[in-house]
């Protein structure tokens, strides 16, 4: 069974994720602008601001290609300049963080069919930018729904107190895992003590969205988790095992998960499984055995890198002027290159960055 338009709604309904409502263009998932931005960033679903090229932040909010490395990719930063932060994007596209959004799943067999439909509904809506199009590519094996499964995996572990991310940086020779969960309990506790986020677990990009959501309050209890998780998503017939074992062989992760809908059991006893069962409930099966890695990388070094990685996302709440002033106050000089920003982040405590955000 594949995820199609019909069972897309059943999954949201059965798991009580969000309200299903009727709109002028059919049934939709109703979300706050904040949650919809996260959904679009993970799934690639596009805002109907432009029927030809619906906007999505997916791929724009990246920092690095590789773990253990601090070389920027063009994303949040462009060299030494903040470029695609949520705040900067909100200045260019004010609709992103205003009002209620509606996720519309659209099943199609060709791009021309999709384009005709989007042009039709775009012209019929008063505020088309409030509608987000979830592509369901019926011509593909599995309907191209891997990113949606990444979203469900992230939502599940976010609610377990993890910092979550999809398409995580690791290493070119190993690959880019579809899902990561970081149990950085000391950092999570420090962030939550400032009351900036609505829960103890969160998508990593939420750290860059604090400026836009200052009214949020965290009322949940702190979750003390230190595990590092990794996952690989498939919705077609491809085998996951080989790639997932590559990730586990690094020794950086405490558990690895197959992410695949309507699968009954993981391929190996040392894999977990994140799936949709026959009743359309999100189901998570934990690994039954520990895995012994064959090629160990330094987990201690990885944890150091992860904690710096988190701080870069917090820094993305600043404007370029604010970043330059913050750097000058601490270093008594101007930013001359990427290495200056990296050195600055590495020697600045997370509490100091959080205090700077609080002052904004």
> Mean pLDDT throughout 215-230?
72
Extract the runs of DSSP E, i.e. beta strands, from 253-313. Answer: 255-259, 271-276, 282-285
Q: How far apart are CA 239 and CA 233, in angstroms?
A: 10
Report how far apart, in Å, the C-alpha atoms of 316 and of each of 211, 275, 310, 354 are.
Answer: 9, 33, 10, 11
Q: For the chain, percent helix, then strand, then coil, each to nearest 5?
A: 40, 20, 40
What's the total number of domains in the chain?
2
From 116, 144, 172, give the residue that closes a domain: 144
* Percentage, residues of the chain above pLDDT 70: 97
Residues 182 and 123 in one domain: no
> Mean pLDDT throughout 316-340?
96
274-298 pLDDT, tens digit per residue, is 999 999 999 999 999 999 898 789 9
Q: How far apart are CA 201 and CA 192, in angstroms?
A: 9
Residues 112 and 205 in one domain: no
Residues 106 and 221 in one domain: no
Residues 124 and 196 in one domain: no
Entry pTM: 0.95
pLDDT at 206: 96
Residues 291 and 240 in one domain: yes
Residues 258 and 131 in one domain: no
Give a yes or no: residue 79 inside a domain: no
pLDDT band at 215 (very low <50, low <70, confident <90, very high): low
pLDDT band at 24 (very low <50, low <70, confident <90, very high): very high
Q: Please name which of 70, 72, 95, 99 lies closest in space to residue 83, comparing C-alpha atoms.
A: 72
Does residue 214 register a pLDDT over 90? no
Q: How far apart are CA 144 and CA 78, in angstroms?
A: 30
C-beta separation of 282 from 11 below 8 A: yes
pLDDT at 61: 97
Give a yes or no: residue 19 inside a domain: yes
Residues 140 and 170 in one domain: no
Give a yes or no: residue 234 inside a domain: yes
Residues 124 and 245 in one domain: no
> Mean pLDDT throughout 304-319?
97
Residues 33 and 126 in one domain: yes
Residues 120 and 227 in one domain: no
Give a yes or no: residue 271 inside a domain: yes
**Which residue pairs, CB below 8 angstroms and at least 24 apart, start in 3-10?**
3/136, 3/142, 3/143, 3/145, 3/148, 3/149, 3/235, 3/261, 3/276, 4/107, 4/136, 4/138, 4/143, 5/105, 5/106, 5/107, 5/136, 7/280, 8/105, 8/134, 8/136, 8/148, 9/105, 10/280
- Residue 141 CB: number of other CB atoms within 10 A? 12
Which contiguous run of DSSP H or E holds residue 301? helix 299-315
pLDDT band at 225 (very low <50, low <70, confident <90, very high): confident
User: Residue 181 belongs to what domain range?
Assistant: 145-360
Q: How far apart are CA 314 and CA 234, in angstroms?
A: 31
Residues 194 and 245 in one domain: yes
> Mean pLDDT throughout 120-144?
95
pLDDT at 220: 56
Give a yes or no: residue 230 inside a domain: yes
C-beta separation of 313 from 353 below 8 A: no
Give a yes or no: residue 78 inside a domain: no
Q: How far apart are CA 282 and CA 80, in angstroms?
A: 41
Residues 318 and 192 in one domain: yes
pLDDT at 15: 94
């Amino acid at each position: 069974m594949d995820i199609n338009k019909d069972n897309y709604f059943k999954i949201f309904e059965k798991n009580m994720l969000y309200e299903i409502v009727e709109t002028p263009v059919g049934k939709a998932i109703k979300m706050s602008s904040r949650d919809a931005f996260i959904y679009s960033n993970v799934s690639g679903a596009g805002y109907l601001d432009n029927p030809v090229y619906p906007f999505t932040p997916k791929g724009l909010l990246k920092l690095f290609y590789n773990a253990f490395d601090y070389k920027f990719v063009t994303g949040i930063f462009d060299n030494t300049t903040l470029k695609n932060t949520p705040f900067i994007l909100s200045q260019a596209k004010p609709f992103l963080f205003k009002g209620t959004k509606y996720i519309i799943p659209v099943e199609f067999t060709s791009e021309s069919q999709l384009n005709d439909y989007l042009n039709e509904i775009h012209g019929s809506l008063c505020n088309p930018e409030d509608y987000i199009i979830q592509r369901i590519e019926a011509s593909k094996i599995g309907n191209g729904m891997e990113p949606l499964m990444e979203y469900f995996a992230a939502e599940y572990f976010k609610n377990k107190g993890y910092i979550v991310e999809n398409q995580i940086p690791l290493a070119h020779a190993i690959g880019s895992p579809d899902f990561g969960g970081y149990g950085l309990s000391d950092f999570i506790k420090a962030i939550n003590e400032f009351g900036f986020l609505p829960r103890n677990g969160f998508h990593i990009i939420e750290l860059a969205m604090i400026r836009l959501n200052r009214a949020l309050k965290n009322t949940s209890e702190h979750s003390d988790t230190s595990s590092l998780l990794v996952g690989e998503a498939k919705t077609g017939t491809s085998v996951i095992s080989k790639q997932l074992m590559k990730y586990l062989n690094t020794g950086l992760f405490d558990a690895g998960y197959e992410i695949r809908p309507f699968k009954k059991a993981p391929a190996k006893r040392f894999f977990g499984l994140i799936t949709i069962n026959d009743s359309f409930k999100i189901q998570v099966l934990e690994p039954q055995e520990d895995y012994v890695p064959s090629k160990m990388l330094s987990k201690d070094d990885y944890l150091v890198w992860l904690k710096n990685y988190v701080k870069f996302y917090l820094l993305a709440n600043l404007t370029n002027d604010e970043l330059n002033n913050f750097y000058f106050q601490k270093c008594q000089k101007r930013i001359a290159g990427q290495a200056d920003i990296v050195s600055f982040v590495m020697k600045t405590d997370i509490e100091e960055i959080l205090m700077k955000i609080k002052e904004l």
